[in-house]
Structure 1
Amino acid sequence: MPSLLEDDDDRHHSFRNDPKPCREDQTEPFPLPSLSQSCPTDLDSHLHYHSLVTTVRGRHDNSYVSSLAVAGKLLLAGSSDKDILSWERATLINPDEAPSGVDGGVGVVAACAGTVKSLVVASDKLFSAHQDHKIRAWRIRSQDLNLNHPNQQKYSRLATMPTLGDRALGLLAPEKQVQVRRHKRCVWVSHADVVSGLALSRDASLLYSVSWDRSMKIWQTSDFRCLESVGHAHDDAINAVASSPDGRVYTGSADRKIKVWKKVEGDKNHSLVATLEGHNSGVNALALNSDGSILFSGACDGSIIAWEREDDGDQMVVLRVLLGHSKSILCLKVVADLVFSGSADKTIRIWRGFEKNYACISVLNGHQGPVKCLAAAVDCGSSSNACFVVYSGSLDSDLKVWRVTVPFL
């Protein structure tokens, strides 16, 4: 049996890189001519507070949380043992108030096939990406979760994508099949390898999926049809996807590149409009700020690049490189003006932006394995402070809940 560090995630996400150590809690310029000034360190780090609220152990010793998503009052988690779990967030934040016998309100709300690689929520629908090359759509209803009897209720599955009808049509029409390996063909609507990431358009009408088969596909969320397929979108496995409010779609790959896609006016399909090259190793994670003007990308060498779009154009320039992690960046999350990064070095770093500069304001220590996934949400604050709740899943089988407080700038 393979160990946790030898499972499917190892193929395209490096956990063992050890770049040259950097100064702690600081961003430094990358070896690029345009970056000559390091980030300021006078953001009063003593005014930022964080605390570990609770730790939830995995249901099985050999399983871990592989993806996370916040859905209103619920926290949803995809696991390596193929299930989708749900907690009531209030009981995780206040564990002393959890019902007796219920671990934070946990319930198995969906039993799947294949490790759950990504989760996204669109209104009353949940979409999950899987190691078995498929995407699944689920109906979320308030009555689906009974906290008193968490294992008795499940979300109802709406579809498996591609649908059986789409696959059947593809098999009957050879022109709708594509070459995926030297001696293997599949229908154009099907991913031929692990579906590594999902993202939704701003209006949630479109779902973007990427895969280690190097392709990106675009689905209609209303009827689950595949509208477009971009084969060989990259030269290597695609690890991450992010969708901007303005319609641009970003894909990050093990080929060290980030590609920008959008539907040009008058065109039926999305086109490649820019390629961002700046990383010296494979790109594992992507995240955008709220208006889509700044893109954050994390790579195998532990670096995070902040990219800024130029004058509403398609090109983006390197704004800042955030250094501090000693191993691969595995996940990124942006909430308000904070960037959360999870790494194979077992830590979570919190970066804060101020006038286009970013500084690491805190490091969350506690996990005993690589931090695989993150979710975060705004919590109650005060007139002088903002409060956030951060959820982290690790290969150590733990789900941890953190509370972070920062002063308003």
Structure 2
Amino acid sequence: MEHSASFNNNSLSSQRSLASVPSLNSHSHLFIPSTTSHSCLTTLKPHTSSSVYISCLTLAGNLLYTGSSDREIRSWNHTHFIQKPTTTNNNVVIAGKGAVKSIVVHSDKLFTAHQDNKIRVWRVTNLEHDQNQKYTRVATLPTLGDRLTKLLLPKNQVRIRRHKKCTWVHHVDTVSSLALSKDGTFLYSVSWDRTIKVWRTKDFACLESVRDAHDDAINAVAVSYDGYVYTGSADKRIRVWKKLEGEKKHSLVDTLEKHNSGINALALSADGSVLYSGACDRSILVSEKGKNGKLLVVGALRGHTRSILCLAVVSDLVCSGSEDKTVRIWRGVQKEYSCLAVLEGHRSPIKSLTAAVDRSEQDPNSEEPSFLVYSASLDCDVKVWQVFVPLLST
């Protein structure tokens, strides 16, 4: 979500689409959209208050983690609630002030980003064997030790307002998104304060801070297997960062300026070679990574009638959630994409998405692979969808 207090804010309203970028939408014989089927398996209602919504979703094994606008983090065993939709859930922890903006999982730890400018680290026990997980907070970033060691040297002080300074390890505005390196060694955080920070997951030390990485709030971050870091901002730009050989800090290696409105979401293809970006211009840009990390826009996916707010990739599918209250499922082959399904049922904009292969129903001989798509909306509901996708025709 852009740096805005409300979805009714003009900065979030849909803007004109990207007429200058060719459409990748296809009706090729390779696709048989009519044979795609989907159903809503269940609707989770974590909150009874209409003023609370789920602000982020993350899957890890059998667990679905949800973060909400009222500081709550919950875990759900999806094998239980798919079989028994009425099962109650008591795995809740409340932390910070304001919304939980992002959740990532590494081993037995959760890293959560918050509207109160902090990142919290939780150890989770009984991950697979007990429906009731236990959360233990092990750190709040930046850690007290990190703050104290940086406080001693004047060079570590940065000015954040006219008469106020703090150390460079602090985020001073909402931490909007998190991403892990391939091996889980590093955590990347981005913020509405326009900075990117790099943390070591072993001891939670802040190793690096890129100041003024963008000209406006940063809303999204994605990290590829080979170490390229992509950031999307309300300044309409996507920037690409890399720690070059022999260097200690990340350098800017590319800037993409094709969207004509603030960027809300980024997602990478399974092999990291394609970047998908969603913005208020209602289009999803598809960019291929070339030499030296340079991005080449090959086209746009069109169909949503309002802003793109979230993206998720599973296998060869791209899932997009929009302010138009729908989720679309896309598949691309040879630079042509088809919208295989439109998931309708939410009553408000789709705020967050995640997806996975449906292992419980997967038949090796089936001609229709099954996927589970989880969507969270401002209507306070989380819907679980089962999507059967046809094999590509030859």
Q: TM-score, normalised by structure 2?
A: 0.92
**Is the CA contact 1:18–1:326 (under 8 Å) kept in the aligned structure 2?**
no
**Is the CA contact 1:14–1:328 (under 8 Å) kept in the aligned structure 2?**
no
Counterpart mapping for 1:8-407 below 5 A: 8=5, 10=7, 14-17=11-14, 19=16, 30-32=19-21, 35=22, 39-42=26-29, 43-61=31-49, 62-95=51-84, 102-103=87-88, 106-114=89-97, 115-142=99-126, 146-147=130-131, 150=132, 154-310=134-290, 312-379=291-358, 380-382=361-363, 383=365, 384-407=367-390
Q: Secondary structure at the match of 1:346?
A: coil
Q: Distance in 1 between matches of 2:379 and 2:106?
A: 30
AA at the equivalent of 1:203 = D
**Is the CA contact 1:124–1:141 (under 8 Å) kept in the aligned structure 2?**
yes
User: What count of residue pairs does the alignment treat as equivalent?
Assistant: 384
AA at the equivalent of 1:60 = T
Q: Distance in 2 between matches of 1:48 and 1:17?
A: 29
Q: Can you list the C-alpha shifts for 1:119-178, whole angstroms capped at 9, x where unaligned?
A: 01111111000000000111122169853xx5xx63111110000111223333222111
Shift in Å at residue 365 of structure 1?
0.6
Shift in Å at residue 300 of structure 1?
1.1
Distance 1:180 1:6, change over 3 A: closer
Q: Distance in 2 between matches of 1:304 and 1:30?
A: 12
Shift in Å at residue 107 of structure 1?
2.5
Give me the CA root mean square deviation: 2.2
Q: Distance in 1 between matches of 2:9 and 2:273?
A: 28
Q: Distance in 2 between matches of 1:298 and 1:323?
A: 11
AA at the equivalent of 1:239 = N
AA at the equivalent of 1:164 = L
**Is the CA contact 2:57–2:64 (under 8 Å) kept in the aligned structure 1?**
yes
AA at the equivalent of 1:139 = R
Q: Distance in 1 between matches of 2:227 and 2:170?
A: 24
Q: Secondary structure at the match of 2:338?
A: strand
Distance 1:38 1:142, change over 3 A: closer
Q: Can you list the C-alpha shifts for 1:233-263, whole angstroms capped at 9, x where unaligned?
A: 0000000000000110000000000000011
Q: Distance in 1 between matches of 2:101 and 2:380?
A: 15
Distance 1:324 1:124, change over 3 A: same
Shift in Å at residue 180 of structure 1?
2.1
The farther-off stretch of 369-378 and 167-176 is 167-176
Q: Distance in 1 between matches of 2:10 and 2:252?
A: 24
1:408 matched to which residue of 2? 391
1:25 matched to which residue of 2? none
Distance 1:14 1:108, change over 3 A: farther
Structure 2: 5+ residue runs without aligned partners?
none
Q: Distance in 2 between matches of 1:230 and 1:355?
A: 37
**Is the CA contact 1:109–1:145 (under 8 Å) kept in the aligned structure 2?**
no
Shift in Å at residue 197 of structure 1?
0.2
Q: Distance in 1 between matches of 2:147 and 2:349?
A: 37
Q: Distance in 1 between matches of 2:8 and 2:246?
A: 39
The farther-off stretch of 176-185 and 48-57 is 176-185
Q: Secondary structure at the match of 1:58?
A: coil
Q: Distance in 1 between matches of 2:112 and 2:53?
A: 16
Q: Secondary structure at the match of 2:150?
A: helix
Q: Secondary structure at the match of 1:224?
A: coil
Q: Secondary structure at the match of 1:292?
A: coil
Shift in Å at residue 7 of structure 1?
7.5
AA at the equivalent of 1:126 = L
Q: TM-score, normalised by structure 1?
A: 0.89
Q: Distance in 1 between matches of 2:129 and 2:94?
A: 14
Q: Distance in 1 between matches of 2:268 and 2:6?
A: 23
**Is the CA contact 2:223–2:230 (under 8 Å) kept in the aligned structure 1?**
yes
Distance 1:192 1:370, change over 3 A: same
Distance 1:199 1:37, change over 3 A: closer
Distance 1:133 1:6, change over 3 A: closer
**Is the CA contact 1:320–1:357 (under 8 Å) kept in the aligned structure 2?**
no
Q: Secondary structure at the match of 1:167?
A: helix
